[in-house]
Copies of this chain bind each other. A is one copy, B any other.
Amino acid sequence: MTPLTPISVADDDLALLTDLYELTMLQAYWHQGMRERSVFSLYFRHLPPNRRFMLACGQQYAAELATRLHFSDSAIERLADTGLFRDGFLQWLSHYRFRGDIWTLPEGTPVFPNEPLMEVEAPVAEAQLLESLIMNQVQLETVLASKAVRLVMAAEGRPVVDFGMRRMHGVDAAVRGVRAYRTAGIAGTSNVLGGLRYDLPLRGTMAHSYVLAHDDEREAFQRFAELYPGTTLLVDTHDTLDGVRKVIALKDAHPDLEIGAIRLDSGDLGDLARRSRQLLDDAGYQQIRIVASSGLDEYQIQTLVRQGAPIDIFGVGTEMGASTDAPVLDLSYKLVEYAGKPRVKHSPGKVNLAGRKQVYRQCDANGEFTGDVIARREEYIKEGTPLLAHTIVNGEVDSAHIATLDQARDQACRSISLLPATMRELTSEDDGRSSDDYPVTLSQALQQLQQDECA
């Protein structure tokens, strides 16, 4: 029998969570004495389907993670066992610590194709090693936050709550997804550990199983509401409107019983919400709110909101939990400078922008964003705000440049509100890839460099 492996990755194992070629390349750099300072840029080439921007998340977390990365004795032993690595290299690896510099976008920044979310500067091996882990971590949060923010926009101010833990890809996704959701403006989560860890209010109702474990639905409602004043009762186990009537009868019989809301979880949510609202209002229970869930995505929420469905809170699981319409982002982590010289890869369709960069976000007289300029890091651009901050300096975290969770949420909320209105529209794949409404251009100096390098 295979012993049960742990569910998580201990800090001591984290450096092994990498692609093999990172380690073989590292040994090659070590073997060849290649220690020149390099710059790697993390960016994506194309927006995924249905996205007009991505909400950059996780890059500051990943930068901090980089400073903690180390090879424990047990990690070194396991690498030795592979037979691929020499003793001298493993000794070098056992002393590995990231001592370089990292520039990052603040968490919660809307970001567009070819803009660096992160630039890493260090001797080539130090910077190369980070590739796989950084990509895994930044993709996770950026993909989930970029989906969540669409649900938040669709709800037009009504709270959206995360019910997605069971549909997320494993425990790390479930927990750190809550961090991404919080940045995106999600109002609460059913995920206990995620909510406690990232200070997002815990929310929960009841499951159908609780109702089914009772012989009588009304008894289930009464017992639960007695124990949890102000709770939400799930009314659709047998028949939704019949369930609502039972709530009303219960409240009529026990006026002191506090019932905060009912939850609809199947059927035509708009119609059921209207009819439930009517029943509750007619009975004088205007204060009982309506929570709706059941495979909701941003389009359904937008339709419900615009049709005026009397739904107060949306619970979202599946669609947000894995960002089902766009579960991946084609992040690249590319060498753009080595030993002071810009580097460009020429593979068809995969050319990168050479050299160290900065992104300037420009705005009009009202403060609304009008477009971005990607420039060389060294050049002076008069207009616009530089976005990339010097987060890690010589391997040390500069706390002044790490956003708190609240700052990240505020950054996201404010930035999105300053984008052109068309960028906030929910688009389908066919028309979502146009960036005409938000020009991202290259500075003249960067264009010149690119021409020189591609010549």
Chain A interface (Cβ < 8 Å from any Cβ of B): 1-2, 4-11, 13-14, 16-25, 27-29, 31-32, 34, 36, 38, 40, 61, 64-65, 68, 78-79, 82, 84, 124, 128, 131-132, 135-137, 139-140, 143-144, 163, 165-176, 179, 190-198, 202-210, 212-213, 223-224, 227-228, 231, 236-240, 265-267, 318, 321-324, 327-328, 330-331, 334-335, 338, 343-350, 399, 402, 404-405
Contact of A9 among B1, B36, B175, B331 (CB under 8 A): B175
Which residues of chain B come closer than 8 Å to A330, judged between CB atoms?
Answer: 318
CB of B335 within 8 A of CB of A213, answer yes
**Distance in Å from the Cβ of A402 to the closest Cβ of chain B?**
6
Which residues of chain B come closer than 8 Å to A7, judged between CB atoms?
Answer: 9, 11, 14, 65, 137, 172, 176
CB of A166 within 8 A of CB of B197, answer no
Which residues of chain B come closer than 8 Å to A205, judged between CB atoms?
Answer: 21
A to B CB contacts below 8 Å, 25 in the list: A5-B197, A7-B14, A7-B137, A8-B8, A8-B9, A13-B193, A17-B174, A17-B194, A18-B191, A20-B202, A24-B231, A28-B210, A36-B213, A38-B213, A40-B209, A79-B192, A131-B209, A132-B165, A136-B166, A166-B331, A170-B170, A170-B176, A318-B330, A322-B322, A324-B327
**Distance in Å from the Cβ of A90 to the closest Cβ of chain B?**
14
Contact of A28 among B64, B224, B347 (CB under 8 A): B224
> Besides the contacts A136-B170, A266-B350, what 6 more A-B pairs have beta carbons closer than 8 Å?
A1-B404, A17-B165, A21-B206, A170-B172, A172-B172, A237-B345
Which residues of chain B come closer than 8 Å to A338, judged between CB atoms?
Answer: 212-213
A335 to B237, CA, bound (A): 12
Q: Which residue of B lies closest to A168 (CB)?
A: B136
Which of A8, A31, A131, A140 has the most chain B CB within a 10 Å cutoff?
Answer: A8
A166 to B137, CA, bound (A): 8
Given contacts A213-B124, A322-B327, A348-B267, contact A204 B21 (CB under 8 A): yes
Given contacts A19-B191, A24-B204, A192-B18, contact A9 B171 (CB under 8 A): yes
**Distance in Å from the Cβ of A455 to the closest Cβ of chain B?**
13
CB of A28 within 8 A of CB of B227, answer yes
A85 to B449, CA, bound (A): 63
CB of B16 within 8 A of CB of A349, answer no
Q: Which residue of B lies closest to A336 (CB)?
A: B212
Contact of A345 among B212, B321, B347 (CB under 8 A): B212
Which residues of chain B come closer than 8 Å to A266, judged between CB atoms?
Answer: 347-350
Which residues of chain B come closer than 8 Å to A34, judged between CB atoms?
Answer: 213
Given contacts A172-B9, A175-B9, contact A17 B204 (CB under 8 A): no
A213 to B123, CA, bound (A): 11
Which residues of chain B come closer than 8 Å to A322, judged between CB atoms?
Answer: 169, 322, 327-328
Which residues of chain B come closer than 8 Å to A28, judged between CB atoms?
Answer: 210, 223-224, 227-228
Contact of A404 among B2, B64, B68 (CB under 8 A): B2
CB of A17 within 8 A of CB of B196, answer no
CB of A25 within 8 A of CB of B399, answer no
Given contacts A167-B139, A208-B347, A335-B212, contact A191 B267 (CB under 8 A): no
